[in-house]
Amino acid sequence: MPTTQLLEATPEAVETAAGLLREGQLVAIPTETVYGLAADAGSDDAVARIYSAKGRPAFNPLIAHVANLDMAQRYAVFPNAAITLAQAFWPGPLTLVLPIRDGAPLSPLTTAGLATVGIRVPDHPLSQQVLRHFGGALAAPSANPSGRISPTTPDHVLDGLNGRIAAVIDGGSCGVGVESTIVAVDEENRLRLLRPGGISADDIFQTTGLTPVANASDAGIEAPGQMTSHYAPRGTMRLNADTCEPGEVLLGFGDVECTLNLSRSANLAEAAANLFRMMHRLDADGATRIAVSPIPESGIGIAINDRLKRAAAPRD
């Protein structure tokens, strides 16, 4: 494949991207969480390209991105609790795992052959415009090689996938910085939290009165965010570090002496937005041993700690 086009955020870029997607090509698009590697969710060939560009294990289902709730209802069955969640949090960083609607135009490669589909409405003007021009669902995992750090800038996308995808639209840095929260809703209106993310279980309860239960650990891999080693930099990571040992760099949080600081004012939203960018920076600088300050386990801090634990996990 020729080198990947970097498209400036213009109306023409949106047209170009939608055209490439219609041809079955891959285009990385900015969302409010991380950059997504988009392909036509209805096309086996297009979705197969995602798996090969990322080197992704074929049993991991992808998220179908749509422009709004109406469009989502063409693909999935919405129990009442799912309607409540969609109305409260869409567009935004919440993915709902729902039963597939009969006859929905989704490739089985998008859903990895499951009877459910993960679906979300991203809150980013460029992904919204691409979805509207394209007019159908776009399958889009994070735009990084499988198992590596998720991308929050177009440079991160190109670092991992240059030459393997047709284009990336430049939307600058992603505002939320960690992937969407994933909640499964079954036909009895029960909620299960499959992956912590930009919206916490507490936010869900405060806004809707609904309570997601944590996912049972014997449920197998339902979300690759649940694979033990994921989001990994090349160096090793040591968590909850108050100080640096010799040979380590410190990724700090709050008022500490450190190499890079996720948020000097101890603001968790700022730390989430900085997390993957700073991990990419340390990786690019060749850091071999990374210590990380303790991060409070509340709100989006839960998602940050989840990603850090996976980045620190032993690798194969």
Residue ranges binding ligand TXA (CB under 6 A) = 31, 33-34, 36, 60-63, 93, 95, 97, 111, 114, 116-118, 122, 140-142, 179-180, 182, 194-195, 222-225
Report in angstroms how near the CB of residue 213 gets to ligand TXA at its nearest. Answer: 15
Q: How far is the CB of 257 from ligand TXA (least distance, A)?
A: 33
Residue 22 CB: number of other CB atoms within 10 A?
A: 15
Of 114-122, 137-145, 249-257, 273-281, which part binds Mg ion (CB under 5 A)?
137-145
Q: Using alpha carbons, select from 46, 5, 2 the residue that is nearest to residue 24.
A: 46
Neighbours of 206 (CB within 10 A): 10
Please name the residue that has the structure tokens 């698009």: 29
Least spacing, CB of residue 118 vs Mg ion, in Å = 12
Complex with ligand TXA: residue 17 or 250, whichever CB lies closer: 17
Closest contact distance (angstroms) between CB of 110 and ligand TXA is 8
- Counting contacts by CB under 5 A, is residue 152 touching Mg ion? no
Residue nearest Mg ion (C-beta atom): 142
In the complex, what is the shortest distance from the CB of residue 117 to ligand TXA, in angstroms, rounded to a whole number?
5
User: Which of the choices ligand TXA, Mg ion, none does residue 233 contact, using the CB cut-off of 5 to 8 A by kind?
Assistant: none
User: Cβ closer to ligand TXA: 148 or 195?
Assistant: 195
Q: In whole angstroms, what is the distance from residue 278 CA to residue 263 CA? A: 11
Q: How far is the CB of 250 from ligand TXA (least distance, A)?
A: 27
Contact present, 32 and 176 (Cβ < 8 Å): yes
Q: Determine which residue in the list 142, 152, 200, 293 makes contact with Mg ion, applying CB under 5 A.
A: 142
Of 72, 114, 129, whose CA–CA distance to 95 is shortest? 72
- C-beta of 111 vs 142, nearer to Mg ion: 142
Nearer to Mg ion, 88 or 227 (CB): 227
Considering beta carbons, is residue 147 or 252 the nearer one to ligand TXA? 147
What are the phi and psi torsion angles at 103 (to 5°)? Answer: 75, 10
Q: Taking the CA atoms of 294, 220, 47 and 126 in sequence, report the sign of the dihedral they define.
A: negative
Smallest distance from ligand TXA to CB 182, Å:
5
State how far the Cα of 244 lies from the Cα of 250, in Å rounded to an integer: 6
In the bound state with ligand TXA, the residue whose beta carbon lies nearer, of 63 and 249, is 63
Which of Mg ion, ligand TXA, none does 117 bind, CB closer than 5 to 8 A by kind?
ligand TXA
Query: What does the chain come to in residues?
Result: 316
Closest alpha carbon to 139 in 235, 21, 246, 238: 21
What Rg value do the Cα atoms of the chain yield, rounded? 19
End-to-end CA distance of the chain: 30
User: Which of ligand TXA, Mg ion, none interacts with 232 (beta carbon under 5 to 8 A by kind)?
Assistant: none
For residue 118, the SS3 value is: strand
- Are the C-beta atoms of residues 239 and 308 closer than 8 Å to each other? yes
Rounded CA gap, 54 and 177, in Å? 20
Minimum distance from CB of 80 to Mg ion (Å)? 30
* CB nearer to ligand TXA: pick between 213 and 243: 213
Interacting residues with Mg ion (CB under 5 A): 142
